[in-house]
Amino acid sequence: MLTQVIDWHDKALWQVGEPRTVEDYVAEQHSLFDGSLNWPVMVIRETALAANIETMAAFCRRHELDFAPHGKTSMSPVLFQRQIDAGAWGITVATAHQARVAAGYGVQRILLANQLLDGSALDAISAMLVADPALEFLCLVDSVEGVRAIAEAGKRRPERAGGMSVLVDIGFAGGRTGVRSSDEAVELARLVASTEYIRLAGVSSYEGGLTTLDGVRAHYGVVREAIDRMVDERLVGAHPVVTTGGSAYFDLVVDALAGGWARERGVQLILRSGAYVSHDHGIYHERTPFNRVPEEGHLEAAIELWAQVGSAPEPGLAIVGMGRRDAPYDSGMPVPLRLRRADGDAPEEVDGRAEVTKMDDQHAYLHLEGGLEVRPGDLVCFGISHPCTAFDKWRVVPVLDDDDRVIDLLRTYF
């Protein structure tokens, strides 16, 4: 893995001047409250992080799933490697840039869960595949244009025998991408199978936009029907890939696709959940499938965002130095968890007595009730909702042990 370097450009790393390696910084044994970090700062708790990685790895082992966690959640190569070390088959990405980052940091199996149409990006990825024959790469197609673009890129690289491997993307009416029926999926699969310089590996689906369990089950029925027909027509090889499953319905992947059907059809079933790695105090706390199947596991919110109260201008209101540039707000406001007084006393639980009602670019409006009072200089610890739009606001995220010591830094590449 490439050496990661930090310097004074990195938000929240207060006592960093000239560039130094992450290893050198960690060896200095900084901690959350020793003055080495500036406010606001987003941190991640090692205990929860490690537990989440193992929980999903164990879930996949138990149900005979390969796992390609979605890297767009964190875009942290350190986390990619930890997920792979725990047994992940590979890493999922969303863009050509993310694929290049993953490959540059040594990921050997990359699933790009979108259709690639940009000829220059396809040529760059083809060059990566030629330069590293051990690198495995899959991407999606849902149109004649997608098939044509990939085949043309393959023709420009004839040394890549068989061309690029693709998955037919199966969506649903009103959803994001993908063909809308098994008939359309099979028709596109026939086109891929009859076209040079492109190879059909299987199918992909994304169910995250569906809002009911029955809707998800019906969608997976379409996926099964499509792969059954492709296998019967010998459009795919003996071990077709089926990849699906975000962070909200992975239990239904097991119910609908894993087990006997997958074994009978020789399917390689690849799960793509990503937000699990840090979890949250918001939408994924509410939506995790482990709420439905608690016997299967439990995830812990690992991300904390610490910010300082800058003003208490009127009763019941505090203004905190954290805003939309620091915390996600697209799927719910940050959740106040704990309060640490300016005099350094042990943090106290907020227990629902405070709520963020609005954020500006650099400020959060903290409304107080239940007798809670805060003063300028106090620190507030927040949980977040939606980790995918939390990591992208931070180039470096300190990892803390249970004693608040910095034991690693996660650099992100968005």
* pLDDT, averaged in runs of 10, over the chain (414 residues): 84 86 95 96 98 98 98 98 98 98 97 97 95 96 98 91 93 96 98 97 95 97 98 96 94 96 96 98 97 98 98 97 98 98 90 97 97 96 98 98 97 96
* The pLDDT value given to residue 240: 98
> Among positive and negative, which fits the CA dihedral 381, 387, 390, 394?
positive
The CATH H-level superfamily of 5-44+302-411 is D-serine dehydratase-like domain (2.40.37.20)
State CA 110 to chain mean position distance.
14
46-296 has which CATH code?
3.20.20.10
For residue 348, the tally of other CB atoms under 10 A from its CB is: 11
* The pLDDT value given to residue 18: 85
Q: Where, residue-wise, is CATH 2.40.37.20 in the chain?
A: 5-44+302-411
Residue position matching structure tokens 């003063």: 375
Q: Where, residue-wise, is CATH 3.20.20.10 in the chain?
A: 46-296
Gap between the Cα atoms of 205 and 184, Å rounded? 14
Please answer whether residues 44 and 302 qualify as being in contact, where contact means their C-beta atoms are separated by less than 8 angstroms.
yes
Joined together, the tokens standing for residue 145 give: 């244009």
Beta bridge partners of 271: 67, 244
Joined together, the tokens standing for residue 305 give: 């965002």
Rama region for 18: left / alpha / beta (φ>0; ψ in -120 to 50; rest): beta
Q: Which amino acid is at 99?
A: A
**Full DSSP string of 358-373:** EE-SS-EEEEE-TT--
Joined together, the tokens standing for residue 297 give: 């596991």
Gap between the Cα atoms of 224 and 319, Å rounded? 52
Angle, helices 96-104 vs 77-85, to 10°: value is 70
